[in-house]
Amino acid sequence: MPNLVVISTTAVPDYVRGSLSRWLTEPAPGLYVGSISARVRDSLWEQVSAAVGEGAAVCVHPTDNEQRYVIKTAGERRRRVMDFDGLQLIAFRDLNPLGQGNQNEQPPF
């Protein structure tokens, strides 16, 4: 049974975008949405994550858990998915090495 799939890409090779647009609709640059089977989704995600290169990609699709969806990522970006007892939350990576932060920077809260 097909389910809604959302894939977002940043700075990926053109052939990755071409592969995604064969199966999904691109309503905005780098954003792909569609209803495909789990088999096609998993195969497509394998191809995307293997070819992401210097770019990044995120895939969100329904699953049978408390949140009712799962987030998969490929590539290196500031945001990363953390699992807390089955609950997926987003954490930010520190972009500044230790001791090299901006002295005028305000805490996030």
Q: What is the CATH number of the domain that holds 16?
A: 3.30.70.240
Tokens of 48: 């995307």
What average pLDDT does the segment 37-41 reach?
Answer: 95
Tokens of 79: 């945001």
The helix or strand, by DSSP H or E, that contains position 19, with its residue range, turns out to be: helix 14-23
In-domain check, residue 97: no
pTM of structure: 0.81
Per the model's pLDDT, the better-predicted residue between 9 and 101 turns out to be 9
Q: What is the dihedral of CA 30, 36, 15, 95, to 10 degrees?
A: 40
Domain count, the chain: 1
The SS3 of residue 65 is coil
Per the model's pLDDT, the better-predicted residue between 97 and 34 turns out to be 34
In-domain check, residue 12: yes
Instruction: Report the alpha-carbon distance of residue 36 to residue 10 in Å, rounded.
Output: 22
Specify the pLDDT at position 49: 95
Label residue 61 by pLDDT band (50, 70, 90). Answer: very high
In-domain check, residue 9: yes
Specify the pLDDT at position 102: 57
Specify the pLDDT at position 39: 95
